[in-house]
Structure 1
Amino acid sequence: FGIHALLLVTVTLSPVPAAAQSENDVTGEDVYPPLWDLAPENLLDFPVKDNKIVINAWNYQDRLGVYKSLLSASAKYFDDFGPQNSGNILWGLPLQHGWQFRTGRLADPSGVTSCGYENGEPLCQSARSWWSSMNYYLSIIPFLGAVEAGLFGQLPYEIEITPPEEKKDDFCYSVKDCWSRMPKLMDDWKAFFEYLLSTEHKARSSGSLSSFKLDDALGLMWKAHTSSIAYALPKFQGRLKYLSDPEANFGEDWANAVDFIAATHFSTDLLTTNEFQAFLPQRMLVEGDVLPFISDFTPEQNKVLLSLKALHKVNKLTGGLLLKLWQKAMSTEAGRKIGRELIESLPSS
């Protein structure tokens, strides 16, 4: 059973690779999230009020700025992995968020407000959006973990996150607030950023090359990433009611798949993430969308969505055994390498 399970998983998670991009070709505008150039890059680019840096996490540009500041502050640790910070493994987070924005997933799905709509408030993120709410735990929480770890050094001001207009109790708004509500999750993100900082300190004290290991960094990042999803998933179950059944199912299928991807320590650098994301749906799913026969999706997108659905179904039917088997197979560096290669190169079938 184990071998069959692993085969199912590897085929399931293996889209046809997009056309390979040159490693130096990272200047194309479309490889970055929408409006990337307009987002704040430095924490001091955000407004300061009452001696606090105020970040409106319900504005797409501000949330993007949180990611941009994280990428900028962590760039030096990834110099060896690609030009122009393209090898930074934090790219997966803003690129995923950019895909959510571009495909309308951050707008008010109930349609009651104009939040997130082009003819209303296009940069607004709705607290009713399942995607936006889930992403809060993959943007603001990592960011506050980085602040606490010292990634930004000694900041002259405290950080304050603006609450949404509704559903305020579902989120936390400062390092102290988040730490009191979800200490383990904050710890996981802090540990990732502390690892980055520790490699710099070791290099400085020993005078030798950095002790940074990409596999270790990926392991810590994915641990925190999956912790964020595990924490947020039950919390935002009620938001799924605003979505069509196909979209709600896809959201849960995608969240389930992340656990399998995480186990391989899949590299979420700029180019790899862009290639991988090409197979995600470029619009929200609606009633009447039937996999794998959605006419305005590519055959690969149809196959990938169907595969994610099958993976989720089998994992549920086995009570999570499928994931455990996969994680066991991915418990060595050699196993993870094979897992990543399978994800990247096996044609979908």
Structure 2
Amino acid sequence: FTCNCHFLLFFYVIAVNYYLAIIPFLSAVEAGFFGQLQHEIEILPPEELRADFCYSIADCRSRIPKLIDAWKAYFEYLLSTEQKSDGPSASSFSIEKEEALHYLWEAHVVSIAYAVPKFRNSLKYVSGPEASFGENWANAVDFIAATHFSADLQNINYFQAFLPPRMLSESDQVSFISDFSPEQNIVLLSLCTLHKANKLTGGTLLLLWRMAMSTEAGRAVVRSLVEKLVTGLKFDPVGI
């Protein structure tokens, strides 16, 4: 028995991202984000695994209403900010951005929570370290989401350099991978440790983290800390 592990990993990534791309798109259509469209939108189904996805607003709403509602709320909020007649001040823009990030990450987490378990079996065909990284990253998203991280192009382009540049193999030992940078090894180890700690506490660690991130001040402190850690700057716990 042989398998194309690269293809299976590719399928896993595409399948999960379907719920982070197509579902938001259909939700935006339902929210009226693109205005009044003359025709209904329907995604062409694949030849195989048709039952793993939904393809229209009605289809998705009947099968995954929680996901549709979460993404629709995000786009409805964006529309509500555009409809305000008075020009936004710097402070109001900051508040609106923070609120938008709240809706965005809430929807993102709901999609991940649904898609990852649904396609988890695909990970058994890739290496153990690669499968573990997939699970560790999905766990980390919950923690990242709580900080309302600004997932714009500039931030994503910068921070993705600290993630693995290739698939992990069975011979890769986390934190000791020779062709990874020291930062990439540290991030891999950190993601693994975070996931283990959250599992050992039965999810209590994430609960406490979300409580700590319940205020903008708390989120700002953590975002600043993360930026300083990854850029190699010295961290001063008093003068963050």
Residue 223 of structure 1 aligns with an amino acid whose one-letter code is E
Q: Return the offset for 1:258.
A: 0.4
Question: 213, 232, 245: which is aligned to 2:115?
Answer: 232
Of 193, 197, 211, which residue of structure 2 is paired with 1:314?
197
The one-letter code matched in structure 1 to 2:131 is A
In the alignment, structure 1 residue 159 sits paired with structure 2 residue 38: no
Letter in 1 for 2:37: L
Q: What is the match of residue 17 of structure 2?
A: 135
| 1:1-349 matched pairs, under 5 angstroms | 110-111=3-4, 129-201=11-83, 203-204=84-85, 207-209=86-88, 213-347=96-230
The CA deviation at 1:128 is 7.1
Structure 1 segments (4+ residues) deviating >6 Å: none
Shift, 1:127, TM fit = 9.3
- For 1:147 and 1:227, locate their aligned partners in 2 and report how far apart those are by CA, in whole Å: 19
Over the residues paired in the alignment, what is the CA RMSD in angstroms? 2.1
Q: Which residues of structure 1 form unaligned runs of 5+? A: 1-108, 117-125
| Larger helix percent | 2
Aligned-pair CA distance for 1:282: 1.1
**What is the TM-score when the length of structure 2 is the normalising length?**
0.89
- How far did residue 208 of structure 1 move? 4.2
Preserved CA contact (<8 Å) 1:250 1:309: yes
Could you say which residue in structure 1 is the equivalent of 2:237?
Answer: none
Normalised TM-score (structure 1): 0.62
- Unaligned residue ranges in structure 2 (runs of 5+): 235-240
> How far 1:233 moved relative to its partner?
1.7
Deviation string, structure 1 residues 210-248 (Cα, Å, up to 9, x no partner): 865110000000000000001112111211112111111
Q: Is the 8 A contact 2:9 2:123 kept in 1?
A: no
Q: Whole-Å Cα distance in 2 between the matches of residues 175 and 285 of structure 1?
A: 37
Tell me which of the two structures has the higher relative contact order, counting C-alpha pairs closer than 8 angstroms and 6 or more residues apart.
1
| Aligned residue-pair number | 227
Deviation of the 1:307 alpha carbon: 0.6
Could you tell me how far apart the structure 1 residues matched to 2:9 and 2:222 are?
A: 36
Are the aligned partners of 1:110 and 1:128 in contact in 2 as well (CA < 8 Å)?
no
